[in-house]
Amino acid sequence: MMNFQGEHILSVSQFDRESVSRILQVAQSMIPYAARQKRCNVLEGAILNNLFFEPSTRTRISFGTAFQLLGGFVHETVGQESSSLSKGESLYDTAKVISGYSDVIAMRHPAMGSVAEFSQGSSVPVINGGDGANEHPTQALLDLFTIQAEMERYGKGIDGLNIVLMGDLKHGRTVHSLSKLLSLYKDITVTMLAPKELQMPDSVVDVLANAGHKVTITDTMAGNLASDVVYQTRIQQERFSSKEEADMYRGHFSLNKTVYEQYCKDHTVIMHPLPRDSRPEANELDTDLNDNTNLAIFRQAQNGVLVRMALFALTLGVDEKLTQYEKPVTWFTNK
């Protein structure tokens, strides 16, 4: 198992199965704090710098919330235009400076490999919050945590999972990281459902195939959705050369009540990293599924706080000290 203390979290390729289990286990132990049954101030005085050079709601806010739930301070920089990167400063120099102001850094950036490049100059752990179309390791971990929790309700685990990844698999970093993480488990069946032009990169398919898992590549929904989990993704418009090009692929694989009833199993769990594009023309994951109890998307987003709390505790070496720093909650809460 990896020793997390002081490590950067840049790619899911860093993990073996045991390390992933440890992260999920620490995430589980964060539930009472996130649910406001108890407080934990084990990171009191510690400073997180959240550097988000690409739009984000969940990832940025849940990183911040996770750190604050453990008692730490959060500083935020949002948008390249408000930092000296826009004056030509290198990622390396920026890291040299900001790591001097921080105990840990979370970063999102539009360029592939940028967070790894930044980490070279950092004296503190850097956690990748998404580097272009490359990877999104914390999302994959929260997706895995969610799969584990949802499958548990049906007496299943992650081994033996049958999952459909659907939508923009070419540009979607969440499905790249999740596929690689799933390859560590046993007997996984993955259906890659996408328009031919937006299919999963071979390099990712190979990781699953080389680990002996069953991968089906298809562009047809009929007959291919009877799985444990359907994981829908958004067309990553910002990674296309134009809106017109992205528009060509919208609505091809809309998951709605009719499709669910026709092709999914009774218990197929619906996941999506969010944001779902709710504009009518997007036609992606329909709101007519909102009352379906297997729609796990908001539980999934909530789990992001737990997993990010776990990564902070592990990289800052306090994962064994949580109970020592507990306090009661003094305010009204109905969580």
Contact set with ligand NCD (CB under 6 A): 58-59, 130, 136, 139, 173-174, 234, 236, 273-274
- By the 8 A CB rule, do 249 and 197 touch? yes
Structure tokens at 237: 């418009």
Rounded to whole angstroms, the Cα distance separating 226 from 228 reads: 7
3-class DSSP state for residue 34?
helix
Exposure class string for 229-246: b at 16+ Cβ within 10 A, else e? bbbbbbbbbeebeeeeeb
Q: Which is nearer to ligand NCD, 42 or 297 (CB)?
A: 297
Q: Which is nearer to ligand NCD, 40 or 64 (CB)?
A: 64
267: exposed, middle or buried (C-beta count within 10 Å: 0-12, 13-18, 19+)? middle
- By the 8 A CB rule, do 157 and 135 touch? no
Q: Which is nearer to ligand NCD, 134 or 148 (CB)?
A: 134
For residue 82, the minimal CB distance to ligand NCD (Å) is 20
For residue 278, the minimal CB distance to ligand NCD (Å) is 13
73: exposed, middle or buried (C-beta count within 10 Å: 0-12, 13-18, 19+)? middle
- Sheet strand arrangement including 189-193: 214-218, 189-193, 162-166, 229-232, 269-271
Q: Which is nearer to ligand NCD, 126 or 322 (CB)?
A: 126
> Helix-strand-coil percent breakdown of the chain, rounded to 5?
40, 15, 45
φ, ψ for residue 191, nearest 5 deg = -105, 120
Nearest to 182 by CA among 146, 207, 202, 153: 207
Which uninterrupted H or E stretch holds 138?
helix 137-152
Q: Which is nearer to ligand NCD, 8 or 173 (CB)?
A: 173
For residue 144, the minimal CB distance to ligand NCD (Å) is 14
Q: Which is nearer to ligand NCD, 55 or 212 (CB)?
A: 55
Q: Which is nearer to ligand NCD, 164 or 274 (CB)?
A: 274
How many other C-beta atoms are found inside a 10 Å radius of the C-beta of residue 109? 23
Q: Which is nearer to ligand NCD, 170 or 234 (CB)?
A: 234
Q: Which amino acid is at 30?
A: M
For residue 21, the minimal CB distance to ligand NCD (Å) is 23
For residue 77, the minimal CB distance to ligand NCD (Å) is 17
